Chain A
Amino acid sequence: MPNFILYALLAGIGVALLTGPLGSFVVWRRMAYLGDTLAHSALFGVALGLLLSINLNIAIVAVCTTLALLFVAMQHNQSLATDTLLGILAHSSLALGLVAVAIIDSPSVNLFSYMFGDLLATSIKDIALIYGVGVIVLGLLIWFWRQLLSFTVQADLAKVEGINTTFIRTLLMVLLAVVIAVAMKVVGVLLVTALLIIPAATSRRLSKTPEQMAIVSALIGCLAVCGGLAASYWLNTPTGPSIVLSATTFFVISLSKKVAI
């Protein structure tokens, strides 16, 4: 197996292990559109990183996180419906990113690779970043699991029972922003939400508890990465879209099974 495939496989699996549990929260809390919004803002992060000549990954994480926090703040004084608010943020940030990238006009920016991912160009450094971030994200998820879940099920009850819901909501947003910024590498801005949602939706039919759903979802994500990479290698198809289609295949197969609970 050529090295670049091995790197791609390691990176893809690392990302799938994160998008599985986080994606479960996205599905439970109906945050798919928020995922899209954050992903769209990543392009602006790229432009900003080039402009300030800082590490692009850090710039993307910073922009996604800022937008997530901005959303939490704006949602607090609700005068607009959430989907309207997200629509404004998503498309403004995407447009801003496209304009900024065009103005900078740097030869080092391959817009296409950000839009659809560039897994086959994964370097050792990328893998180190994915697993470094991954350990922190999964650690926080496990540490705050009960609070996150309780907040997701009924925020008022969680608050009365002493959970700091503002902190938990913010934590969830920041984790999501970070995971999206990292996962962008695999499937790109336009497809990153698929990696969050499809494995989780597939896992739903096989799981009896939230914990099971998060774990099974991570495993399905890993399988989807393997399947997509294999297809990409043998059939010479684009990697990111192949991974998404491979996940979709698993989802369709899962439809034949009755919901576990």
Chain B
Amino acid sequence: MSRLPNQYITPDKRLNGTPTIMNATPNHPTAQPLIEASSIGFTRHKRDILRNANLQVYAKELVTLIGPNGAGKSTLIRILLGLLKPDAGRVIRRPDLRIGYMPQKVSIDPTLPLTVKGFLGLAGGDRNAVSQALALTDASHLENYAMQSLSGGEMQRVLLSRALYRKPHLLVLDEPVQGVDVAGQSKLYQLISNLRDELECGVLMVSHDLHIVMAATDRVVCLNQHICCEGHPEAVSTHPEFLQLFGKTEDTGIAIYTHHHDHTHDGSHSHDHACQGDHHA
């Protein structure tokens, strides 16, 4: 195991073997969340997609929602956005909360002649804001391109611009790096983190890859039907339930997570070999 695995975890949390929710937002103990989902339940085809799931996002906070496939991440996001009605529980929004949403994917019919500028304009409001929003994501040069001509990375930037266009209090990003190459991914995450600082909005982001988001995230929430654990990225990555979900499984490509976790506990970049034995033990 890495040499400094526990430096981020307080002793009582280390001893705490049962899954509990770690309160990782000490800076907002009394603040009202931007949005709060409490005791959300969602059932489809007699399967529990979500059970008693709780989630809060506070102002200026960057929260990453992770979980295996089928954990209910997108469902929870859609419930928070009001696109789905939960079967149990409720969502409380701060009054007049403006949300900027970046969906996983937007596919526009080829028969619809729509430029990037026109796409952003669909959100209404001031047309001058279009170029500002595009400039924020370094996408100004795409303004007059057809939406259908964009590459994966360009599309993500344009979608992010649309989400920013209405000057949101809360940004909700559903797998924002989909279809972006690895080099582009960390750039995009960096951009999101910078935008959070610049615009002072809360960010809720769904991600598969804890490793890349680690640096920028304030709080990681691990979902598998219910909230398994949540807290600072370093703390979550050693949490027993988290390890059970991502760390111990060698099949279905999940091993990549194990690898990444060790990267991050360690805080160094030259430990790969040291980790190997532990992985396959």
B106 x A212 contact (CB < 8 A) = no
Interface string of B102-114 (1 = CB under 8 A from A): 0100101101111
| CB interface residues, A 124-170, toward B, < 8 Å | 146, 149-150, 152-154, 156-161
A157 x B111 contact (CB < 8 A) = no
B118 x A209 contact (CB < 8 A) = yes
A156 x B118 contact (CB < 8 A) = no
Partner of B118, one of A157, A204, A210: A210
Q: Is B257 an interface residue (CB 8 A)?
A: no
B111 x A27 contact (CB < 8 A) = yes
Q: Is A81 an interface residue (CB 8 A)?
A: no
Q: Is A80 an interface residue (CB 8 A)?
A: no
A261 x B115 contact (CB < 8 A) = yes
B124 x A146 contact (CB < 8 A) = yes
For the complex formed, measure the closest distance between the CB of B161 and the CB atoms of chain A, giving whole angstroms: 12
The chain A residue sitting closest to B172, CB to CB, is A160
| CB interface residues, B 63-105, toward A, < 8 Å | 78, 81-83, 99, 101, 103
Partner of B113, one of A30, A152, A158, A260: A260
B123 x A30 contact (CB < 8 A) = no
State the main secondary structure of chain B at its contact with A: loop
Bound: A204/B106 CA distance, A: 20
Q: Is B167 an interface residue (CB 8 A)?
A: no
Q: Is A207 an interface residue (CB 8 A)?
A: yes
By the criterion of a CB under 8 Å from any partner CB, how many residues of chain A are at the interface?
A: 27
The chain A residue sitting closest to B119, CB to CB, is A153
Bound: A150/B165 CA distance, A: 14
Q: Is B24 an interface residue (CB 8 A)?
A: no
The chain A residue sitting closest to B118, CB to CB, is A209
Interface string of B134-149 (1 = CB under 8 A from A): 0000000000001000
Q: Is A91 an interface residue (CB 8 A)?
A: no
Q: Is B4 an interface residue (CB 8 A)?
A: no
By the criterion of a CB under 8 Å from any partner CB, how many residues of chain B are at the interface?
A: 25
Partner of B81, one of A28, A149, A160, A207: A160
Bound: A159/B121 CA distance, A: 15
A207 x B103 contact (CB < 8 A) = no
Q: Which residues of A contact B101 (CB under 8 A)?
A: 156-157, 160-161
B112 x A152 contact (CB < 8 A) = yes
> Given A160-B99, A210-B118 in contact, is the A153-B112 Cβ separation under 8 Å?
yes
For the complex formed, measure the closest distance between the CB of B150 and the CB atoms of chain A, giving whole angstroms: 12
Q: Is B211 an interface residue (CB 8 A)?
A: no
B106 x A154 contact (CB < 8 A) = yes
For the complex formed, measure the closest distance between the CB of B239 and the CB atoms of chain A, giving whole angstroms: 32
A150 x B113 contact (CB < 8 A) = no
The chain A residue sitting closest to B104, CB to CB, is A156
Bound: A185/B118 CA distance, A: 36
Q: Is B196 an interface residue (CB 8 A)?
A: no
19 sampled A-B residue pairs with Cβ under 8 A? A30-B109, A150-B124, A153-B106, A153-B114, A153-B119, A153-B122, A156-B81, A156-B103, A157-B123, A160-B83, A161-B166, A200-B111, A201-B111, A210-B112, A210-B114, A212-B113, A213-B112, A260-B113, A261-B146
The 4 A-B residue pairs whose C-beta atoms are closest, nearest first, are A150-B122, A160-B101, A261-B146, A28-B112
Give the A-binding residues of B (Cβ under 8 A). 78, 81-83, 99, 101, 103, 106, 108-109, 111-115, 118-119, 121-124, 146, 162, 166, 172
Give the B-binding residues of A (Cβ under 8 A). 27-30, 146, 149-150, 152-154, 156-161, 200-201, 204, 207-210, 212-213, 260-261
